[in-house]
């Protein structure tokens, strides 16, 4: 193998059957060749003292099994971002564009932006601005005190006048004097407030001048940053299997009409494919895996495999994979369109959703969603209306309304937590306790939707009760009772170290991928929106797995 970036397998892999199609990187179960390559890469990387601590702090690595021009098998290795403050290590494929080149566009542009940052920081922290801000605070306090004393004097004078009036026998001259006194004091208050406004306005204007200069610099920084980012992404030119080339900025503009997110093109998947295409290697299969600790708030497990991120990699993959025979996206096609009806009346229908089926129509899905299938089952004049959802990978009970009134009433029950739900889940590992309550607030991972992250500051409340039903070797069957209904709530609560620390079996996003996610919506209890009757339904797990 002439390419120095290609590594030979340390063991005999001749007996392992090659995949019929290349990996769909957004949703896959790693091929055995990728697993072997990943273990070899991890062993090598962790044996390097200069990288070990950085890797153990958390890093995504990737492998791409390839064939060279001689049809010999090997693999490429990559890391996301940088490693040891370096963009190019002999063992790993290089960056598509090296941002760390000291004479490159990024470094020179970064230096200019850094200079503006220093000017902004100097202005924001300047003694003069601090003194102005302090002077304004003191002036406001002093003015409030002066106005308070004036108000007290006005109130005292008024009380004195009122007392005299209550005693009667005031002469016209006395009454006129009282009126004049009142008018004079009110005029004095108006003049005092005017002086205060003028005094404060002068100070505030000086501070505003400072802040306007700071705002101008921040605007200048933003424009420079956007321009730099646009220029950089025009230098990130990627190839596909057809031999075509496009820069990253153009790919995102054509598909999403916006600039790429920061870091686009620096993940493992595009690096690996780029090197393969540039050096005329044939991609066979690919996988990305996590090494080290999980990032704060996120769920990443050492040695587990993960799909490529959607926000940065999906648009690139849609271009770079053109010309390869790629596995179909399992999220775009449902394994079955058969839906079992558990209960139906004139207001609602309860169905048993199979795993792999979307609850509602998706943007990129070719297969019909549960809502569309049920809608076709209903007679003319009746419509299937969404009440709640299950993840595509989750099986089990779903309520669908037939009327707007039923939909509104049922949604209100969900919002008010009056619907009782239980889920069955098979976990990888053994929870620390046999039962308990998990409270971990969640929010979307904006850089990699639909993943969720734990965020104790800005996350929404998420509460799940659980109890262990059975231990099966290194796996555990548990019953979950969610008290809130956040996206991926049970999956994160099961996998996160502050939760159970045991991913749901087959959870590609938060655990280890397998043929399916072992999460099943087993029971539903709610009040019928029209009759007031308590409705209870159950779906047996054996019907699905």
Which token pair is 68?
């060279």
Task: Give the sign of the dihedral formed by CA 295, CA 300, CA 305, CA 308.
Answer: negative
Which token pair is 329?
């996206």
Three-class DSSP labels, 75-108: EEEEECCCECCECCCCCCCCCCCCCCCCCCHHHH
Report the candidate in 514, 117, 90 with the shortest Cα–Cα distance to residue 305: 514
Q: Say which of 3, 247, 352, 391 is annotated catalytic.
A: 391
Which token pair is 60?
């995504």
DSSP string, 298-331: S---TT-EEPPPHHHHHHHHHHHTTTS-B---TT
User: φ and ψ at 122, to 5 degrees?
Assistant: -65, -40
364 is catalytic: no
Which token pair is 166?
């209550």
Rg (CA), the chain: 33
Which token pair is 164?
């005299």
Answer for the pair 236, 96: CB distance below 8 angstroms, yes or no: yes
Distance CA 289, CA 268 (A): 10
Other CB atoms within 10 A of residue 251 CB = 21
Other CB atoms within 10 A of residue 229 CB = 18
Distance CA 307, CA 301 (A): 13
Distance CA 255, CA 119 (A): 38
**How many whole angstroms from its chain centre is CA 441?**
13
Distance CA 266, CA 522 (A): 42
Catalytic residues: 391
């Amino acid at each position: 193998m002439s390419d120095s970036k290609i590594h030979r397998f340390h063991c005999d892999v001749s007996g392992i059957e090659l995949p019929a199609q290349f990996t769909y990187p957004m949703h896959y179960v790693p091929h055995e060749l990728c697993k072997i390559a990943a273990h070899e890469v991890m062993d090598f990387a962790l044996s390097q003292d200069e990288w070990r601590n950085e890797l153990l702090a958390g890093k995504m690595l990737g492998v791409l099994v390839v064939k060279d021009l001689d049809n010999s098998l090997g693999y490429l290795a990559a890391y996301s971002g940088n490693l040891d403050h370096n963009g190019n290590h002999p063992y790993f494929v290089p960056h598509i564009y090296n941002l760390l080149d000291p004479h490159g566009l990024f470094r020179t542009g970064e230096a200019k932006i850094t200079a503006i940052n220093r000017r902004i920081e100097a202005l924001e922290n300047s003694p003069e601005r601090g003194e102005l801000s302090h002077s304004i605070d003191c002036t406001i306090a002093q003015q409030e005190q002066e106005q308070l004393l004036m108000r007290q004097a006005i109130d005292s004078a008024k009380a004195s006048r009122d007392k005299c009036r209550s005693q009667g026998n005031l002469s016209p001259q006395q009454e006129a004097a009282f009126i004049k006194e009142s008018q004079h004091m009110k005029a004095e208050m108006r003049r005092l407030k005017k002086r205060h406004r003028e005094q404060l306005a002068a100070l505030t204007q000086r501070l505003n001048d400072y802040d306007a200069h700071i705002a101008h610099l921040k605007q200048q920084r933003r424009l420079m940053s956007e321009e730099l980012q646009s220029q950089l992404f025009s230098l990130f030119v990627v190839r596909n299997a057809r031999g075509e080339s496009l820069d990253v900025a153009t790919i995102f503009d054509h598909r999403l009409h916006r600039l790429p997110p920061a870091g686009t093109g620096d993940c493992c998947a595009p690096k690996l494919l780029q090197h393969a295409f540039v050096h005329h290697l044939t991609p066979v299969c690919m996988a990305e895996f996590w090494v080290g600790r999980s990032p704060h708030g996120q769920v990443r497990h050492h040695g587990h495999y993960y799909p490529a991120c959607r926000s940065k990699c999906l648009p690139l993959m849609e271009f770079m994979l053109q010309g390869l025979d790629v596995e179909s996206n399992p999220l775009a096609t449902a394994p079955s369109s058969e839906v079992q009806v558990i209960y139906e009346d004139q207001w609602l229908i309860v169905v048993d959703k199979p795993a792999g089926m979307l609850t509602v129509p998706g943007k990129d899905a070719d297969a019909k969603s549960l809502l569309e299938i049920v809608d076709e089952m209903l007679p003319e004049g009746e419509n299937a209306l969404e009440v709640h959802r299950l993840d595509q990978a989750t099986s089990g009970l779903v309520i669908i309304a037939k009327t707007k009134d039923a939909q509104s009433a049922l949604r209100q029950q969900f919002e008010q937590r009056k619907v009782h739900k239980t889920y069955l889940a098979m976990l990888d590992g053994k929870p620390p306790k046999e039962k308990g309550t998990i409270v971990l607030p969640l929010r979307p991972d904006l850089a990699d939707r639909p993943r969720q992250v734990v965020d104790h500051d800005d996350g929404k409340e998420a509460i799940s009760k659980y109890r262990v039903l059975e231990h099966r070797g290194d796996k555990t069957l548990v019953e979950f009772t969610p008290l809130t209904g956040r996206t991926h709530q049970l999956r994160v609560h099961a996998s996160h170290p502050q939760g159970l620390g045991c991913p749901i079996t087959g959870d590609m996003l938060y655990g280890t991928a397998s043929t399916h996610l072992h999460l099943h919506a087993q029971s539903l209890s709610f009040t019928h929106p029209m009759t007031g009757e308590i409705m209870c339904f159950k779906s047996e797990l054996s019907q699905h797995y």
